[in-house]
Amino acid sequence: MPTLYNQQSTNTYKTWGLVGGFLVFIILLGWGASWYFQSRAILYGAVIFSLVMNVGAFWFSHKVALKSAGANPAPEEQFSELHNIVENLSITAGIDKPDVYVIEDQSPNAFATGRNEETAAVAVTTGLLDMLERSELEGVIAHEIAHITNNDILLSSMVVVLVGFVTLLSDFFLRWSLFGGGNRDGRVGLIMTIVGIALAILSPIAATAIQMTISRKREFLADASGALLTRYPEGLANALKKIDKAASQQPLKRANHATSHMYIENPFGGEDSEPSFFDKLFMTHPPTSERVEALMDQR
């Protein structure tokens, strides 16, 4: 298993790799459009736009993630136990207490987001608070705080914005080509249709691939790091089993594919049976059974 410091360094490199890859992707699109339309302004616009998107994703992605999840600040007087758990585990981890948010949803789940430790936030659903015992809730919060200390949160938050934008871009190209692009120039319409179809096919595949590369190993490491914080791996293991079972019956209402990798468990539903090797290739979360087994080995 990778060490904490190796993983922090790896996540930093992955963040810059994601930023660089997005820059190249948008600039290539701009170059292709500028070549066809014989206009350098399109290429310059693509460069400026990609820079603005990356800067925006860096500074505001955590706010976008919280907003898209329907998370609201948790009043301390109403959620005193939750705040107490977050504060105690933050002290144990040696970080400042992150902001605490609550999502009004009966499906149990949680995630952490933020640009860094100073802007970090932990969000949990009301269903999670209602379902879990204190030791189990501590395990979940420790897992999310581990994401903060492992430098996972910026990477996963930026993916929300950039993957979401690529999806919107593919939809724009496809709709523009089908309903407006071909009216003036048949060749332009054909090219835009091809680009739109290609993006529509490739963007969800690319989104899943990006999410998988940042999700599986970091979930195992956050499980292990969280268990070290609480010194009670059974708490998180029991929580994961409860969350997985409940999610199968009641998926998260405001879940979407751009944010699914952020949650502690798949927000679209748990596993009805042991996933096949092919299924695992397209999963953003490791199978719950494997995570529980790994936690039990830490006892």
* SS3 assignment for 150-162: CCCHHHHHHHHHH
Question: Distance between CA atoms of 159 and 255, rounded to whole angstroms?
Answer: 15
Higher local confidence (pLDDT), 17 or 3: 17
Which of the residues 136, 138, 144, 271 is marked catalytic? 144
Question: Which is more confidently placed, 7 or 35?
Answer: 35
Residue found under tokens 């979401």: 164
If you average pLDDT over residues 91-120, what whole number do you get?
95
Residue 169 has pLDDT above 90, yes or no: no
Distance linking the first and last C-alpha atoms of the chain: 16
DSSP H or E run through 113: strand 110-113
Q: What is the mean pLDDT of residues 184-208?
A: 63
What are the residues whose beta carbons fall under 8 Å from the beta carbon of 222, sequence distance 6 or more?
143, 144, 146, 147, 150, 152
Banded pLDDT at 13 (limits 50, 70, 90) = low
Q: 230-284, pLDDT tens digit by residue?
A: 999 999 999 999 999 898 888 898 887 778 888 999 888 755 555 555 455 556 6
pLDDT value at residue 249: 87
Q: Which is nearest to 122 in space by CA: 263, 272, 282, 283?
A: 263
What number is the average pLDDT over the span 125-136?
97
Neighbours of 299 (CB within 10 A): 9
Tokens read off for 286: 């490791």
Quick one: tokens of 81?
């136990």
pLDDT band, very low/low/confident/very high, at 151 (cuts 50, 70, 90)? confident
- pLDDT value, residue 122: 98
Q: Whole-angstrom Cα distance, residue 15 to residue 157?
A: 10
CA distance 110 to 106: 12
Burial readout 92-106 (b: 16 or more C-beta within 10 A, e: otherwise)? ebeeeebbbbbbebe
274 is catalytic: no
Average pLDDT over residues 176-187: 55
